[in-house]
Amino acid sequence: MKSRVRYAFLLSCFVTCANAMQDAPGRVTVAWEAADYRSDLWQDIMAQELMTRYDLKHVVTDKSVLDVGCGTGVIALILACYARSVHGIDMSASMIRAAMHHIRANVTFWCCSAQNLERKNAFDYATAFWVLQWMPDTDKEQAVQKIWGALKSGGQFFGTCSVDDNNQELERALPFLQGKMPKLKDIFADREQWNQLLGEYRSTPERLKELFEGVGFENVVIEEITFENNFSEEGLRTIYTPGFRGLPLMDHLDAQERLQLFELYIGLKKMSLPQQEPGVYTNSTRQLIIRATKP
């Protein structure tokens, strides 16, 4: 509850922003829609808790900041209260349009994927909150290379990446889901192919450390932490709707089948999560915190 109060207070300080937007070609892997996000989305709340825990507000003071995967701009606007300037990028035009409703003089928003970022030695600091987990390995490497190139010498990176992802949860629930949706048996007939595909999206401390060091970052620190939040059933639907759309499996289902799978998934969630009280579910999630420096 304190997090929500703090969040509401910070949101109330957002007043003005000059913005610029450019279209950039690129491989769009997920159709992120701003309408799927609400202002109390748990990742925004967790991001603010992380900014306090790691003192990011002090760290970014008077610095130029790149916010990769800025979404609707909530985190970029908080950082802008302290930074000299903040430049948010996101490959979703819907997200950028939503972000541009907020006005602050030291913020710009661009429609651009991390893989297509062409700024060189331009920023003192870069953030990427829950972005890399949605990229297969090749895209991850390209994105981290571009972020490295955009940072000045001595520039720092701070990012987050979920350990428990929806792909893995669906895999564990596959026997149950196949019984409810026979089409899944055909889709997952070639398990080797699917294991290879889903494996490209998995992030481990070892793989991330190797990736960041491989593109030239130094002092790479990967830390795992756990968050717990309480949600109603409506809250569970709200927090899982955006990410669910990004699963590779969705490309093989029509609209009705996607809805059916989502309802089955929420039902499994409700059965597996502990309840603080009737109708209030405790959702626990493990996160990787990534910190690195460009020499």
Please, are residues 163 and 248 in contact by the beta-carbon 8 Å criterion? no
pTM of the model as a whole: 0.78
Percent of the chain with pLDDT over 70: 76
Of 266 and 290, the structure prediction assigns the larger pLDDT to 290
Angstrom distance (rounded) from CA 111 to CA 243: 20
Cα dihedral sign for 1, 61, 95, 91? negative
- Give the angle subtended at the CA of 240 by the CAs of 10 and 236, to the nearest 5°: 80
Q: What is the pLDDT of residues 208-224, one digit of tens each?
A: 999 999 999 999 999 99
Kindly tell me if the per-residue pLDDT of 163 is higher than 60. Answer: yes
pLDDT band at 251 (very low <50, low <70, confident <90, very high): confident
pLDDT band at 190 (very low <50, low <70, confident <90, very high): low
Kindly tell me if the per-residue pLDDT of 36 is higher than 80. Answer: no
Q: Which domains does the chain have, with CATH numbers?
A: 2-293 (3.40.50.150)
- Please state, as a whole number, how many other Cβ atoms lie within 10 Å of the Cβ of residue 96: 25
Mean pLDDT of the chain, nearest integer: 80
Q: What is the pLDDT of residues 192-211, one digit of tens each?
A: 666 665 666 778 899 999 99
pLDDT band at 21 (very low <50, low <70, confident <90, very high): very low
Kindly tell me if the per-residue pLDDT of 166 is higher than 60. Answer: no
Mean pLDDT value of segment 51-74: 94
Please, are residues 29 and 246 in contact by the beta-carbon 8 Å criterion? yes
